[in-house]
Amino acid sequence: MTIVARFTMDYTRFLDPSGKAVAELPDFARDTECLVALYRAMVLTRVFDTRAVALQRTGRLGTYASTLGQEAIGAALGEAMAPEDVLVPSYRETGAQIARGVKMSELLLYWGGDERGSCFTGPREDFPISVPVASQSCHAVGVALAFRLRGEPRVAVSVCGDGATSKGDFYESLNAAGVWRLPLVFLVNNNQWAISVPRSRQSAAETIAQKAVAAGFSGEQVDGNDAVALRAVLDEAIGRAREGGGPTLVEALTYRLCDHTTADDASRYRPAEEVSGHWAEDPVVRLRNHLVAAGVWRKAEEEALLDECSRAVEAAVAEYESLPPQEPASLFDYLYAELPAALREQRESLVRGGGGDE
């Protein structure tokens, strides 16, 4: 017998669940301002998230997908991407979207069922939230191929959950990205549950990261509750893609402390003791403990940050709720640059019937 290939999977962690460093920190993490920026982004994401769930529970928002327990992923991704890169998000990238300049009021509009929430005033080329799982992977391949054909030093980043990696769209995207060596990073938020299906019943593969091996490029695991590790791994993967080194698959190991969405009740299928055990890995507490131990974060800074975040979120809520409802005829306005004749007639009919905006 001849062995024709071997592979290993790296796993990166710098901070343990208590916030203590377990390895020499990367260069950027020696600048405490960088770590404070990461922490601030995570706290803002959590404050927004808590308020969004409350809005849904009181009938002021539609179904919402919480990011509770997964704030490190969005915050680190937002810091690692350059403004000219393109984010192709799933529905749990709130932190990354805010960091890239999407207004919180726009996110509330989206979850309130208003398409104006997908028309960002900030990152105009970032994709809107796409709920169908693994669709993000295909879209990102197209974006990255466009960068390649134009000769632009830009990177596309697609994000999906662990459940999405069982879809054909995901595998086909990996294959295309590997063959064409596209400037693309696949970031998998492995929060252990695809709605009510645990990771162990989704795939027999020992890791999700190793799925990259079959596509001919690198995959690796990272502690998804360690913002420092995530930032380091994403910096390297995005930098490699920008320099022509091809795609990378990054599997961020985390845990979904919340329901899948506000339409879900995870207590029906998930043991309470499993959830409570993972609270000990809370990414927000982990980084705060590290900052406190380093002497750069105190009670006064914490209270000021919480007040600042609450005021910013409340301003976004006020802006969201003050906007007049979208006109019914607008449902024709977002699929075509120029409406086909048949749809134009339907739109005009709707307007004539008194349901439109003209």
110 as an active site residue: the answer is: no
Q: Which of 13, 154, 256, 290 does the annotation list as catalytic? A: 256
Dist. CA 61–CA 52, nearest whole Å: 7
Q: Which of 30, 57, 201, 269 does the annotation list as catalytic? A: 269
Dist. CA 342–CA 346, nearest whole Å: 6
Query: Phi and psi at residue 346, in whole multiples of 5°?
Result: -65, -40
The residue ranges of DSSP E strands in the chain, in sequence order, are 10-12, 86-88, 156-161, 184-190, 193-194, 197-198, 218-223, 248-253
Dist. CA 238–CA 339, nearest whole Å: 38
269 as an active site residue: the answer is: yes
Contact 202, 163 (CB under 8 A): yes
Contact 145, 127 (CB under 8 A): no
Which residue shows structure tokens 């990255």? 144
Dist. CA 210–CA 217, nearest whole Å: 10
171 as an active site residue: the answer is: no
Q: Which of 100, 231, 260, 347 does the annotation list as catalytic? A: 260
Dist. CA 42–CA 72, nearest whole Å: 6
Give the catalytic positions in this structure.
256, 260, 269
